[in-house]
Amino acid sequence: MNIHEYQAKELFRQYGIPVPDGLTAATPEEAESAALRLGGPLVVKAQVQAGGRGQAGGVKLVRTPPEAGNAAAALLGRVLRTRQTGAAGKPVHQVLLEKALDISHEYYLSLSIDSAAEQVALVASGEGGMDIEEVAAGRPERICRVNIDPFIGLRAYQLLELAGAIGIPPSLKRQFTSIGLALYRLFTEKDCAMLEINPLALVENGEGKPALVALDAKAGFDAGALFRQPDIAALRDRAQEPPLEARAFDAGLNYVSLKGNIGCLVIGAGLAMATMDAIKLFGGEPGNFLDCGSNSKTEDSREAFEIILAEPGIEGILVNVFGGITQTDLVAAGVIEALRRHREQLPVVVRLEGTGSAEANRLLLDSGLNVQLAGSLTEGAEMIMKLVASQKGRKSRPGAML
């Protein structure tokens, strides 16, 4: 789950990471009065949960309160498309107004999970700002990376070394180190999946001395840990999520939309991965990742199946459940209910094994629905691909398949 920049900056404040003074506004009038309170030149920033706002016109520099009101009017209520939002874009319901600062250099600093190493990775660069992806692609030697041993944690010496490697001026190495340590504390205490400061800007503080300030803040959290982070869970903004993923999240499903043509209804993340592999093995592309969670009941399976039906580009659905705790007869009942609600005919292959599977298969056979039963995962994947291919053959002109 992701949160907005202004919310991430509030967390930064709590952890002692310096951020500019700022206020949020949901209307141009609020923006104007916020600008009056903050005073001086300001930046007005669209609050969408995606990067690339600067290049997409989502960050505006203004000098006066009326200008701030106009900038807010131009952003609020709009859908902002950036290189990270996809074609659908994301709605702007709030703007963040901040005192504009004179930037003399932009650094990059982030923490994320290196799942292969099973460690948190600290990434930093002396070439922060809006084009970090280009730096990573074209000048990878300018990106420095340190993996953090979870039992030892992040140590000051690692940050001091990193500060040297990315060209932090010697007088600011201590500040860089304390920002890095605070960021790591926030990451571990709040069950983050990702924290990013880009740019971490070199500016002049109130007394004309150089200082580092987090001008941007991005934060993502492990959805599986939200049950113990109620303060974070409360920050969720459903309007920023792809609609089907938001619907699945509300239903307690682990769901990710993908580009392919075969929908997969599976219980267990491991089995879901194996099912996606099997679909690819027989020439298909999974249209979604879905782990319904064990102990799914009829309503859960029905909702999951309906979400897959709503996914654009789906040409066939493979249901693959091995019932341990899960009663597969309840899953079958959910699939039947979903299919009865939808008239659309698309190939469906179901493989149900384990608890309740005799009853489950009988329910499916007696349903009168056009559902094919498979005896194994491999057989199911092969069947769904054959059915989708023959359905396509029937839809196109006779002879077109040859």
Active site residues: 108, 196
Write down the least CB distance from residue 215 to ligand GDP, Å.
4
What is the rounded CA–CA span in Å between residue 203 and residue 217?
16
CB distance 113 to 89 below 8 Å: no
Write down the least CB distance from residue 216 to Mn ion, Å.
4
Burial of residue 33 (number of CB atoms within 10 Å: 0-12, 13-18, 19+): middle
What is the rounded CA–CA span in Å between residue 272 and residue 180?
37
- Report the partner that residue 43 touches, choosing among Mn ion, ligand GDP, none (CB closer than 5 to 8 A by kind): ligand GDP
Q: What 3-state DSSP class applies to 388? A: helix
Q: What 3-state DSSP class applies to 189? A: helix
- Report the partner that residue 72 touches, choosing among ligand GDP, Mn ion, none (CB closer than 5 to 8 A by kind): none
Q: What 3-state DSSP class applies to 249? A: helix
Write down the least CB distance from residue 171 to ligand GDP, Å.
22
- Report the partner that residue 129 touches, choosing among ligand GDP, Mn ion, none (CB closer than 5 to 8 A by kind): ligand GDP
Site string for ligand GDP, 194-233 (x = CB under 6 A): ----xx---------------xx-----------------
- Report the partner that residue 215 touches, choosing among ligand GDP, Mn ion, none (CB closer than 5 to 8 A by kind): ligand GDP
Candidates 98-106, 231-239, 313-321, 330-338 — which segment interacts with ligand GDP by CB under 6 A? 98-106
**Residue 22 is a binding residue for ligand GDP (CB under 6 A):** no
**Residue 32 is a binding residue for ligand GDP (CB under 6 A):** no
**Residue 130 is a binding residue for ligand GDP (CB under 6 A):** yes
- Pick 82 or 158: Cβ nearer Mn ion: 82
Sign of torsion over alpha carbons 132, 145, 1, 5:
negative
What is the phi-psi region of residue 326: left when phi exceeds 0, alpha when psi lies from -120 to 50, beta otherwise?
A: beta
> In angstroms, what is the C-alpha Rg of the chain?
25
Closest CA to 29 of 101, 99, 95, 98: 95
Question: Which parts of this chain interact with Mn ion (CB under 5 A)?
Answer: 198, 216
Question: Which parts of this chain interact with ligand GDP (CB under 6 A)?
Answer: 20, 43, 45, 51-54, 59, 98, 100-101, 103, 106, 129-130, 198-199, 215-216
